[in-house]
Amino acid sequence: MKKLLLSLILITLALFSVACSGKSGDAKDAEGETKHIKIGVSGTDTRVWDHVAEKAKKEGIEIEVVTFSDYVLPNTALAEGELDANSFQTVAYFDEFIKDQKLDLVPIATTIIAPMAIYSEKYKDVSEIPDGSTIAVPNDESNMGRALLLLQEAGLIKLPEDFNGLGSLEVIKENPKNLKIEPVVAAQTPRVLPDVAASVINNGVAVDAGFSPTEDSMMHENETATPYINIIAVRAEDKDNETLKKVAELYQSEDTKKFIEKEYKGNQIPTFVPLEKIGW
């Protein structure tokens, strides 16, 4: 009877242990290295991570991709231990979010940039844009700021050295061509193309409108647009986790780079730069 009671207690404890293993980081080997990891992404497009997961299997790493429908939960779920990593956000968004929410998260690798670009139905090069003409930009602060930075990179305007990335017409320091910068709802930026000299269009909006930033634009962001590079983030305590570092390495491989280029045809650009370059 005592043996039976002891057996029941041991079985109960075992079942309790399994039930509690739903959180990330619990499936570890004897060395403490995570072999099954959960990575959070936003949206339903998991093509790149499915590709990386296939490669990870050969390394003895099982990747579970968890999808979210917003840009908040992937970070809070990571901070609370429901995920081992996430991959969905730009450096600018990440820095602001962890500051506001006081989360102890860090990036361990860069991934891609979904480039904002300048499009025109009238001109092929930004140098052809005439004095006094109109350029449309998204009207929300974040995307307008990003658009203004791109216009500065194009040599059309100049912003203050301490520009904080939040857009408004007042921040334009120099406008040698006396361009009229016209803020419009982001979704309308492709539709106003017939009426303006050029329009600065978000990647997602441009793709939905049938444009490719690398094939159809006058100019698009590249790896110099460091605030808008996407990252893989983890909890600070896991920044040296060998398994997570290996996953980052697999993402930043030449094979994955070619997969992204072939699959997205310029709508996403592999951007593997050192963390120091993004301020970390």
CATH number at residue 170: 3.40.190.10
Task: Give domain status of residue 237, yes or no.
Answer: yes
Average pLDDT of the residues in 135-149 = 94
Same domain, 242 and 209: no
pLDDT of residue 125 exceeding 60: yes
Task: Give domain status of residue 74, yes or no.
Answer: yes
pLDDT of residue 212 exceeding 50: yes
Same domain, 152 and 184: yes
54: Cβ contacts below 8 Å, ≥ 6 apart: none
Same domain, 60 and 191: no
For residue 12, what pLDDT is reported? 40
N-to-C CA span, the chain: 61
For residue 54, what pLDDT is reported? 97
CB distance 226 to 115 below 8 Å: no
Average pLDDT of the residues in 13-19 = 36
Q: What is the 3-state secondary structure (H, E, C) of 197-258?
A: CEEEECHHHHHHCCCCHHHHCCEECCCCCHHHCEEEEEEHHHCCCHHHHHHHHHHCCHHHHH
Higher pLDDT, 12 or 88: 88
Over residues 168-208, the pLDDT tens digits come to 999 999 999 999 999 999 999 999 999 999 999 999 899 99
What is the model's pTM? 0.81
Task: Give domain status of residue 198, yes or no.
Answer: yes
Same domain, 257 and 271: yes
CB distance 17 to 28 below 8 Å: no
The rounded percent of the chain whose pLDDT value lies above 90 is 82
Which band of pLDDT confidence, cut at 50, 70 and 90, is reported for residue 114? very high
Give the least confident one: 88-97, 102-111, 250-259: 88-97
- Domain region containing 54: 33-114+227-278
Same domain, 63 and 86: yes
Structural domain count of the chain: 2
pLDDT of residue 34 exceeding 70: no
Tokens representing 90? 């730009």
Task: Give domain status of residue 27, yes or no.
Answer: no
Higher pLDDT, 151 or 164: 151
Same domain, 182 and 239: no
Over residues 60-76, the pLDDT tens digits come to 999 999 999 999 999 99
Give strand pairing partners of 113: 269
For residue 223, what pLDDT is reported? 85
Task: Give domain status of residue 124, yes or no.
Answer: yes
CB distance 135 to 156 below 8 Å: yes
Same domain, 51 and 181: no
CB distance 108 to 251 below 8 Å: no
Which band of pLDDT confidence, cut at 50, 70 and 90, is reported for residue 35? confident
Same domain, 101 and 233: yes
Q: What's the whole-number average pLDDT of the chain?
A: 89
Count other Cβ atoms within 10 Å, centred on residue 72.
11
CB distance 135 to 198 below 8 Å: yes
Same domain, 105 and 180: no
Same domain, 77 and 200: no
Helix (H, G, I), strand (E, B) or coil at 263: helix
Task: Give domain status of residue 23, yes or no.
Answer: no
Same domain, 55 and 138: no
Which band of pLDDT confidence, cut at 50, 70 and 90, is reported for residue 49? very high
Tokens 């079942």 -> residue: 15
Task: Give domain status of residue 78, yes or no.
Answer: yes
pLDDT of residue 95 exceeding 70: yes
pLDDT of residue 26 exceeding 60: no
Whole-Å CA distances, 172 to 31, 59, 125, 179, 185: 55, 51, 22, 11, 20
Which band of pLDDT confidence, cut at 50, 70 and 90, is reported for residue 32? low
Task: Give domain status of residue 20, yes or no.
Answer: no
Which band of pLDDT confidence, cut at 50, 70 and 90, is reported for residue 30? very low
Which band of pLDDT confidence, cut at 50, 70 and 90, is reported for residue 15? very low
Q: Choose one of 200, 221, 242: the last residue of a domain.
A: 221
Helix (H, G, I), strand (E, B) or coil at 42: strand
Same domain, 38 and 107: yes
The sign of the torsion formed by the CA atoms of 86, 89, 91, 96 equals negative
